[in-house]
Amino acid sequence: MIYLDNSATTRPFDEVTEYMMHVMKDIYGNPSSMHMAGVEAETEVKNAGKALADILKVDPKEIIFTSGGTESDNLALIGAAMANKRAGMHIITSKTEHPAVAQTMKYLEEQGFRITYLEVDRSGRISPDVLAQALSEETVLVSIMHVNNEIGSINDIRSLADTVKSYRPAALFHTDAVQSFGKMRIHPSKMKIDLMSVSGHKIHGPKGIGFLYANEKAKLRPTVFGGGQQKGMRSGTENVPGIAGIALAAKLIYKDFDSDIERMYSLKTYFVRELLKLQDVSVNGIPEHDPEDISDAVRQSAPHIVSASFSNVRAEVLLHALEAKGIYVSAGSACSTNKPSKSATLLAINLPASLLDSTLRFSFSTFTTQDEINETLTVLSEELPKLRRYSRY
């Protein structure tokens, strides 16, 4: 199997699986219990928080564990909007956000908030100028994703956050970093990020766990109520094995970080270059570039996501044709394939209508090899002409 759907989810590191098994078997106490078993579990949670905080260079008490990226986004947006609505009811976001943000915005809109959806450029990025123009006295929250999950474009979070803070210092800045954490170095305090969502299973950790980084000065209201765990910000007995798992995964993914990322960029550059040699294939999410030298442009996008459009082939059919050869990819993003609706991201970058249903996402991980990329290219070059022969009219 050649697994190129790592933006949907990743294979957990073996170390993570084994460590979680140990935690489940041996450290099953409730972190809130007074006895030794509880203390051991609490230590596990504390160590995990510390490890993640070290990676982000933040304070451990700024890490709130959640059930994953979606819950982190919900907590950040609803929590910040509700806690700060007296200061204003205006929120800014982009047109290419993941449904976890986009749908939450829709909910906040129903609650009376005014939402501005920013346009992106052809490669999927928000310009700080566009953001500056949208800011108003009423703006309390800005949420802009770091790396787009469908096309891999990178937003310059540092200058976007900077823009917010220089025009409207009181507004909170949130970023959905589900696709960037583990692929980029992120230091929220330096980058002026107030709130940041992260998911475990995108970094070779377990599913069902994630966290929200929340700057301790950011006013936030909880969205889950109960026993007051995690200082009341997220009630519910902590998912101890999951928490141990995400922390270990993060440590491992940042261990040989520079060489891993370098390897992924060279794979991506090679893959994109070869894809563009195939007939009628275009690649999305990469900034304008010199056709002779794409490597600089590729390095301005995420190292692990390649979005390619294959004209006159339906994405779903090509996906299943690749699947038959053991190559797993996704059409658009895995989170939205259940709905027949068109991808908001692809619409936002003005992809021609004829390509909306002809776009696949290939996403790499640290496990992806050159051989796998070669094999994928070979299969594509064989299957595309076959499928185009029978294209639907």
Partner 1 sequence: MKYSTFLIKYAEIAIKGKNRYVFEDALMHRMKLALKQAEGDFAVSKAQGRVYVDCNSEYDYDEVIAALSRVFGINAICPVVKVEYEDFDKLSADVVDYVREEYPDSTATFKVFARRANKAFPVHSTEMNSELGGAILDACPGMRVDVHNPEIELNVEVRESIFIYSKQIKGPGGMPVGTNGKAMLLLSGGIDSPVAGYMVAKRGVKIDAVYFHAPPYTSERAKQKVIDLAKQVAKYTGTICLHVINFTDIQLAIYEKCPHEELTIIMRRYMMRIAEHIAKENECLGLITGESIGQVASQTMHSLAVTNEVCSLPVLRPLIGFDKQEIIEVSEKIGTFETSILPYEDCCTIFVAKHPVTKPNLKMIKRSEERLADCIDALVKTALDTDEVINVI
Least distance to partner 1 from the beta carbon of 174, Å? 33
Per CB under 8 A, the list member of 14, 18, 109, 323 interacting with partner 1 is 323
Per CB under 8 A, the list member of 231, 290, 340, 371 interacting with partner 1 is 340
Catalytic position from the list 132, 278, 335, 347: 335
Q: Does residue 39 interact with partner 1 by CB under 8 A?
A: no
Please answer whether residues 206 and 241 qualify as being in contact, where contact means their C-beta atoms are separated by less than 8 angstroms.
Answer: yes
Q: Does residue 342 interact with partner 1 by CB under 8 A?
A: no
Q: Does residue 320 interact with partner 1 by CB under 8 A?
A: yes
Q: Does residue 40 interact with partner 1 by CB under 8 A?
A: no
Q: Does residue 393 interact with partner 1 by CB under 8 A?
A: yes
- Does residue 335 have an active-site annotation? yes
- C-beta of 370 vs 378, nearer to partner 1: 378
Tokens linked to 26: 């041996």
Least distance to partner 1 from the beta carbon of 383, Å? 8
Full 3-state SS string of the chain = CEECECCCCCCCCHHHHHHHHHHHHHCCCCCCCCCHHHHHHHHHHHHHHHHHHHHHCCCHHHEEEECCHHHHHHHHHHHHHHHCCCCCCEEEEECCCCHHHHHHHHHHHHCCCEEEEECCCCCCCCCHHHHHHHCCCCEEEEECCCECCCCCEECCHHHHHHHHHHHCCCCEEEEECCCCECCECCCHHHHCCCEEEEECCCCCCCCCCEEEEECCCCCCCCCCCCCCCHHHCCCCCCCHHHHHHHHHHHHHHCCCHHHHHHHHHHHHHHHHHHHHHCCCEEEECCCCCECCECHHHHCCECCCEEEEEECCCCHHHHHHHHHHCCEECEECCHHHCCCCCCCHHHHHCCCCHHHHCCEEEEECCCCCCHHHHHHHHHHHHHHHHHHHHCCCC
Interface stretch with partner 1, choices 81-89, 107-115, 318-326, 366-374 (CB under 8 A): 318-326
Interface stretch with partner 1, choices 27-35, 213-221, 296-304, 315-323 (CB under 8 A): 315-323
Q: Does residue 296 interact with partner 1 by CB under 8 A?
A: no
- C-beta of 59 vs 316, nearer to partner 1: 316
Q: Does residue 169 interact with partner 1 by CB under 8 A?
A: no
Q: Does residue 22 interact with partner 1 by CB under 8 A?
A: no
Q: Does residue 217 interact with partner 1 by CB under 8 A?
A: no
- C-beta of 176 vs 357, nearer to partner 1: 357
Least distance to partner 1 from the beta carbon of 358, Å? 14
Interface stretch with partner 1, choices 104-112, 116-124, 313-321, 350-358 (CB under 8 A): 313-321
- Interaction mask 181-200, partner 1, x per CB under 8 A: --------------------
Interface stretch with partner 1, choices 193-201, 244-252, 290-298, 321-329 (CB under 8 A): 321-329
Distance CA 192, CA 177 (A): 14
Q: Point out the residues that are catalytic.
A: 335
Residues lying near partner 1 in the complex (CB under 8 A): 316-321, 323-324, 340, 387, 389-390, 392-393
